[in-house]
Amino acid sequence: MTTAAENAERAASFLLARVRAARGRLWDQGASPPPPCPPPPDAPALAVFASRRVRGVSPVVAGGLLAWAAGRRPAELVFQVQPARQVLRGQAAGRRCVALVDDAAARAHGDPRHPDGLSFALHDLCHLEKFVDPAHHRGQVGLFRAVERALGSPALGALERTFDAAWIADRDYVIADMNGSAVFLFSVLKMRLGMAARRRLAAERGTPAPVAGPLDDAERAAMLPALDTLFGAMELPASLRVEALSVSARRDHPAHARRLLDYFESLGSAAPNAYQASIGQCTAAIPDLG
């Protein structure tokens, strides 16, 4: 079984080789400040990231690699693109995968934002850093646990079968390709559910579904039972239904958001993973990330 330091060194070597191949002599952008986590011995690629600024690799990612080597990242090294449900399962257990894949596998995944192995790995490493953000880690773990539970619910499965394929794509994007505030992620999931209900209603009417704008009265009426099914499948307490209904991506109900976040954080702390005590160590400033 490989160690965290060995896995981090393998990821660092993967990045460094591809940046050097793509950039030639321009890969090295000069000396970098000493990192909070020094590289382990016998880790030449990590030693480069500890001392040099590598073109196209942010200080956040470089610092995350070194923290990973020190055992301060709940990273799981994989060598194929993970299905969304598998990514969700890992995050619900407090882990975030980092995939090292070749360019063909990255292109086959179909996301134009990361069409090659280098951009795919950088994307995963950025998500890892957002996942371990001390402000959001426990809440995310709790939310992902609740969503994983929901996806095993027959009631939610029956509801999903009434929706189109766009709902599955939207759902999978939230559970596997977004990290940050648990309440924001929950709000986006709700919004996507509302759009799925809108499209279903439009199909029943035989009319085109609006792609933007607020829901009308009939669409809201179609959305509410769907939300009730989602909340029930997530096993949200009935005492939090008002909060769950009111929070939105606009962050316009802070008191409700705080109560909902307290609940998700309690779920995330119920079975602490080995990294929760150290997630504040070796953590750089983390930019917003979708």
- The single residue listed with the structure tokens 């919004």 is 191
- Asked if the model's pLDDT at residue 285 lies above 90, the reply is no
Task: Report which of residues 282 and 199 the model is more confident about.
Answer: 199
Q: Give the pLDDT score at 250.
A: 85
Tokens 């090292």 appear where?
100
Cα(97)–Cα(124) distance, rounded to whole angstroms? Answer: 7
Band (pLDDT 50/70/90 cuts) for residue 277 is low
Burial of 70: CB neighbours in 10 Å, binned 0-12, 13-18, 19+: buried
Would you call 217 exposed, middle or buried from its count of C-beta atoms within 10 A (0-12, 13-18, 19+)? exposed
Q: Concatenated DSSP letters for 144-156? A: HHHHHHHHT-HHH
Residue of 277 and 187 predicted with greater confidence: 187
| Contacts with 238 (C-beta within 8 Å, 6 or more apart), sequence order | none
Sorting pLDDT into bands at 50, 70 and 90, what band is 279?
low
Tell me what pLDDT residue 272 has. Answer: 67
Q: pLDDT for 7-56, tens place per residue?
A: 999 999 999 999 999 999 999 999 999 998 899 999 999 999 999 999 99
Mean pLDDT along residues 81-95: 97
Looking at residue 132, the DSSP 8-state letter turns out to be T
Q: What is the pLDDT of residue 287?
A: 41
How far are the Cα atoms of 85, 145, 247, 287 from residue 148, in angstroms, in the given order? Answer: 8, 5, 21, 26
75 DSSP β-pair partners: 96
What is d(CA 159, CA 202) in angstroms, rounded to the nearest whole number?
Answer: 16
**Predicted local distance difference test score (pLDDT) of residue 274:** 64
The predicted pLDDT at position 286 comes to: 43
Arithmetic mean of pLDDT over the chain = 93
Residue from 27, 169, 150, 166 nearest 109 by CA = 169
Tell me: the pLDDT tens digits for 111-166?
898 999 999 999 999 999 999 999 999 999 999 999 999 999 999 999 999 999 99
Residue 226 has pLDDT above 70, yes or no: yes
Q: What is the pLDDT of residue 288?
A: 39
